Amino acid sequence: MAKQPRYIFITGGVVSSLGKGLASAALGALLQARGYNVRLRKLDPYLNVDPGTMSPYQHGEVYVTDDGAETDLDLGHYERFTGVSATQGDNITTGRIYSDIIAKERRGDYLGATVQVIPHVTNEIKDFVLSDAGDVDFVLCEVGGTVGDIEGLPFFEALRQLGQELPRGQCCFLHVTLLPYIAVAGEMKTKPTQHSVKELRSIGIQPDILLCRSEREIPKTERQKIARFCNVRESAVIQGLDARSIYAVPLAYHEEGLDREVLNHFGILTPPDADLSKWQEIDNTQSNPDGEVRIAVVGKYTVLPDAYKSITEALVHGGIANEVKVKILWIEAEDFETMEPEAVLRGAHGILVPGGFGERGTEGKIKAVQYAREKKIPYFGICLGMQMAVIEAARNLANMNSASSSEFGDEGENVVGLMTEWTRGNERFERTANTDLGGTMRLGAYPAVLAEGSLVAEAYGTNEISERHRHRYEVNIEYRQSLEDVGLRFSGVSPDGILPEIVEIPGHPWFVGVQFHPELKSRPFDPHPLFSGFIGAAVEQSRLV
């Protein structure tokens, strides 16, 4: 019989952006360090069916899982911290729940019942939380938003019910709050925390543990006060100070006793020791870097770094692999429409063009590719960044002056075109130009075959890879010969040879464009080979200039 997992429900209060996702991921890592298996899930109260159609400005990047789900970026934190691959079944939104319920209602599945928030919506939420937990010791379930949000209510109600329905001692409520410091008064304030716990208790949830985010040490007197007013044990008031790096968070929270308190709550009073050596190693490497490289990321959502969360982290991992600090220069691609790239890119040791949608900024990105190619600066093009590299080579090396992508209209010679059919394993996918935008891209893990002796085969150390995709358009394989004739090598293709997956330029110090998103699979303790290789090349470049 499968064992019954224990559940940890993570909620947030006072304000958003407290690092609830990170705290959940770090707690997962700490439980793993003590030898337990974990699974992390996210409940998002918004009405979108998934974040796939949301602007990165609204909600940061869309994180894609192996099985092709477009999910909240917190799932990226979960994967990076625990190494457990997330699935479609690890992120749910109000939109998805309602669309499932309405479909059932239309089919008549409710047999004439009045369909209501309680019990129908709450039951769906509970089913999701309890479903397919696998053989794990702990399921950590984070609720998006803040207690008191109207749209979050059904989720809190579902968790409250679970608290009563699960066997005693099987669940723990962890509430993340903020202790603001008022400089003029010289005081740390506990009132917002008291209020948010009061709000939680008014809907029937008594938190077991409080993780109090704070800029300063929390004095003992304040901890006692919080414990008393919020009805928790003093040892359960855990201080969460800002850490020097997100990868130092598991170490910091362990010091504060977060994992010990959680295990104690479950009655595990003498838990196995935590082996945090891999986190310590990362922390040592990050605290003592051997120099710094500057990487220019030429994108279009650069004012909101969360839009490129996984890229940022994968670059940091590449830095860890090479024991250097990576400084990211965020560059707005549109700037290159009025200014030469040289002015801003001169100091960069590597140039990365990330994924993106739509025409805005693409001419600037193409200029950045040209600059990197001609000046022999390491170049890494991801998804749209690969398509830009192909268009640049077509225009400037193969004299196809109007080379473009059908994403930007029908005028030019479209070396990149809309994909209408593709296969995964034995399954064939089809679409037309008019299909819904949501959930109809080539999504999730697909295999690719790498050319013998190519830079990428060398980097991966294998000829067969699997990487995650999220795109609608593809480089047209018909142009392979004319582009290879001018020096662009198609060094990775789909197993059937139809879809170009990787291009590189032999003879250039490091020039790689990939149709997939390698950043999604990079981990601090297992940096992605292409990010390690790219940063390694940037280190070489930094020695030249």
- Pick the catalytic residue from 265, 508, 517, 528: 517
DSSP string, 142-166: EEPS-TT-GGGHHHHHHHHHHHHHS
Confirm whether residue 386 is marked as ligand binding: yes
Nearer to ligand GLN, 53 or 231 (CB): 53
Among residues 470 and 528, whose Cβ is nearest to ligand GLN?
Answer: 470
Give the C-alpha separation, 49 to 51, whole Å.
7
| Dihedral angle, C-alpha 48, 54, 59, 60, nearest 10 ° | 140
75 is in an annotated binding site: no
What is the smallest separation between the CB atom of 356 and ligand GLN, expressed in angstroms? 5
Is 496 annotated among the ligand-binding residues?
no
Do 214 and 181 touch, CB atoms closer than 8 A? yes
In 3D space, the residue among 248, 382, 399 whose CA is nearest the CA of residue 315 turns out to be 382
Report the 10 Å Cβ neighbour count for 16. 12
Query: Which lies closer to ligand GLN via its Cβ, residue 340 or residue 359?
Result: 359
Provide the minimum distance between the beta carbon of 308 and ligand GLN in the complex, in angstroms, as a whole number. Answer: 11
Residue with smaller CB distance to ligand GLN, 373 or 470: 470
**Does 57 show up as a binding residue in the annotation?**
yes
The sign of the dihedral angle between the CA atoms of 45, 49, 50, 51 is negative
Catalytic residue among 265, 383, 469, 504: 383
For residues 487 and 164, what is the distance between their CA atoms, to the nearest angstrom?
66
Question: Cα dist. 404→226, 359, 413, 429 in Å?
Answer: 60, 10, 6, 25
Find out whether 44 and 144 touch, Cβ atoms under 8 Å.
yes
161 annotated as belonging to a binding site for a ligand: no
Between the two ends of the chain, the Cα-to-Cα distance in Å is: 62
Check whether 282 is labelled as a binding-site residue.
no
Looking at the DSSP bridge assignments, the partners of residue 213 are: 178, 240
Which residue's Cβ lies closest to ligand GLN?
A: 355
Question: Could you give the residue ranges of the DSSP H alpha helices within 449-511?
Answer: 455-460, 480-485
What minimum distance in Å lies between the beta carbon of 265 and ligand GLN?
Answer: 42
472 marked among binding-site residues: yes
Q: How far is CA 222 from CA 54, 187, 217, 218, 219, in A?
A: 41, 10, 10, 6, 5
519 given a catalytic annotation: yes
Minimum CB distance to ligand GLN, residue 459 (Å): 21
**Is 265 a known active-site residue?**
no
Least distance (Å) between residue 471 CB and ligand GLN:
3
Q: Which residues bind ligand GLN (CB under 6 A)?
A: 355-357, 383-384, 407, 470-473
Of the pair 440, 463, the CB lying nearest ligand GLN is at 440
Q: Out of 175, 261, 519, 528, which one is annotated catalytic?
A: 519
Q: Binding site residues for Mg(2+), as ranges?
A: 74, 142
User: Which residues form the catalytic set?
Assistant: 383, 517, 519
Q: Binding site residues for UTP, as ranges?
A: 16, 189-194, 225
Q: Binding site residues for L-glutamine, as ranges?
A: 57, 356, 384-387, 407, 472
